[in-house]
Amino acid sequence: MEEKENKENKLGTQPVGKLLVQMSLPAITAQVINALYNIVDRIYIGHLPEVGSLALASLGVAFPLIMIISAFAALIGMGGAPRAAIALGAGKKEEAEKILGNCFSALVILSVVLTVLFLMTSETLLTWFGATENSLPMANSYFTIYVMGTISVQMALGLNSFISSQGFSAMSMMTVVIGAICNIVLDPILIYGFDMGVQGAAIATVFSQTVSAVWVVAFLLGKKTILRIKRQYLKINAAVLLPTLALGISPFIMQSTESLVQLTFNTQIKRYGGDQVDLLISAMSILLSCIQFFVLPLNGLTQGAQPIVSYNYGAGKIDRVKKAFWLLIKSGMVYTIAVWAAVQLFPSIFVKMFSSDPALLEIAPGYLRIFMSGMLLLGAQFSCQQTFVALGQAKISTFLALLRKVILLIPLALVLPMLMGFQGIFLAEPIADVVAALCTTTVFLLMTRRLFSGETDRL
């Protein structure tokens, strides 16, 4: 009991700087390793003899739909975990466990609905997302297998947020590490050893997510956790679940709009790419893989800070909230500036990770420089937007999540190619990134006094 109490209270007692390192490093590690589920698939698939580029394009059109499945896990998990941490900080453990129980049930229900829906519409959706006559068979083969593991994805990603929100950052990291190791080991065996190609990659991913899901559920049913999944809290309660969904809309939008963005990019490439459509979609797949990979450590940093901010906000320790935020934004900016410099100096290195196709190596590095030139300011944008989530500010966090992708990026991706051809598609991302970062930081600074003064509701 005493061990649990110490673990529960460290979020409100340990030095903030030390705590941010302890919480963020496992979260960053988990985010980077989690990227390997899809990045490793693309690396292996991209180097398949003769069909590598086409297979890469196939995964490129399937990936946006996979992101939608993950986004629903974020809707529940990243909406519920901050509220549970705030409740825990306020001494309302029973309320926190109600949130966990409702989120578990919601994830199970969502898994069933999503599995049926995607299996019924997979070919149509993949065609919408840019699959051509050449790439559709492989894309559908990969996606159909992946959809069969939807419940594992929901459990692994959605419930893992509740482990990290309690301060068990190392245990949360292990959820991802175990699955990633399985995936890395199985990928070459199934893809090359058994000559299963994209089907082998999908099977490896589903099996790995299932292992992670079992790990998460076992921990949240065990003795070491502070918050436990309990039968009496599994019945859906609208008063508990609806505020969770409201807060989860922001991370849901941030993830699901990745799919909408890639849909826009791919359809625009099909419209303006001429006879280079499959090549340009392959290049876009590489570019999106790079930016998604580089953003993941930033996500890990903000996820590490979230329990600190939420718990201390719930406990009324505003000085610790402020200190955690300023450490977060400084760390985020240092990271994104370093990434921006690396991409501008060595773009070919990152492209070669995914393909050895001479045609791709000729065009992709230049586009990567342009595409990621707005990365410079994303540290500030992510830090401010995710702090709104940690503080339980559903409305403003939702607006800011919509701002970067829906309000700015998608319209730019539609308009710029009309003015300058398909090259305009690659310029849309950096313009949206810079404008969103400036707007988000400005809004946060204007609202700081009210947020940190206790004038807003904490749950």
Distance of CA 228 to the CA centre of its chain: 25
The answer to whether the beta carbons of residues 71 and 252 sit under 8 Å apart is: yes
Mean of all residue pLDDT scores within the chain: 83
Widest CA span of the chain, in angstroms? 67
Poorest-pLDDT segment among 151-155, 233-237, 311-315: 311-315
Q: Tell me the pLDDT tens digit for each residue of 70-116.
A: 889 989 988 888 888 888 878 888 888 999 999 999 999 999 999 99
CA neighbor of 46 nearest in space, from 256, 371, 350: 350
Q: Tell me the pLDDT tens digit for each residue of 224-253.
A: 888 889 989 999 899 889 988 888 887 787
343: domain range?
16-452
Determine, yes or no, domain membership for 299: yes
Determine, yes or no, domain membership for 370: yes
Q: Residue 5: its pLDDT value, please?
A: 42
Task: Tell me the one-letter amino acid at 162.
Answer: F
Residue with the bigger pLDDT between 218 and 446: it is: 218
- Cα distances (angstroms) measured from residue 196 to each of 40, 44, 186, 238, 353: 15, 12, 11, 45, 21
- CA distance linking residue 96 with residue 311, whole number of Å: 12
DSSP label at residue 90: T
Using a pLDDT cut of 70, give the percent of the chain over it.
90
- pLDDT grade, residue 46 (50/70/90)? low
55: pLDDT strictly greater than 80: no
Determine, yes or no, domain membership for 390: yes
Determine, yes or no, domain membership for 8: no
Determine, yes or no, domain membership for 434: yes
Determine, yes or no, domain membership for 459: no
The total number of structural domains that make up the chain: 1
Residue partners of 261: CB distance under 8 A and separation at least 6:
64, 405, 409, 410, 413
Q: H or E segment at 418?
A: helix 410-420
For 63, list phi and psi in degrees, rounded to 5.
-60, -40
Determine, yes or no, domain membership for 215: yes
6: pLDDT strictly greater than 60: no
Poorest-pLDDT segment among 32-41, 53-62, 346-355, 374-383: 32-41
